[in-house]
Amino acid sequence: MTIVAAAFVGHVAAFVDDLAWVYTIAIILYVLTSMVLAAGLRIPYNRWSDAILTFLRDVSEPCLRLFRRILPSFGGLDFSPIVAIIVVRLAGSLAARAIG
């Protein structure tokens, strides 16, 4: 493998790991904003907050919905974000190691 190819593979592995981190941060932000909304602290009729909340919901909800189907119900507690973050970080780390 040439030096350029090895550097490219290293950059791709770092990108995959960074992408997993960004997705993890998106899930955390979605959970925090949904808690703020549940507390009733939303600014009404604000386009920026609505756009951000819609983006976070559209990005995070497919992954969280998968884990909500798998995990049993624990009353009012939702453990799907915790499991999703663990799985995303683990998958990102394993994929980065397999690539690089």
* Residues 64-68, mean pLDDT to the nearest whole number: 93
- The pLDDT assigned to 1 comes to 64
Distance (Å, rounded) from C-alpha 78 to C-alpha 66?
13
Name the DSSP class of 42. Answer: P
- The band of 76, judged by pLDDT with boundaries at 50, 70 and 90, is confident
Nearest one of 29, 13, 24, 32 to 96, comparing CA atoms: 13
Distance (Å, rounded) from C-alpha 18 to C-alpha 51?
24
pLDDT digits 0-9 by tens, 12-65: 999 999 999 999 999 999 999 988 888 887 777 778 888 888 999 999 999 999
- The pLDDT assigned to 10 comes to 86
Distance (Å, rounded) from C-alpha 96 to C-alpha 100?
6
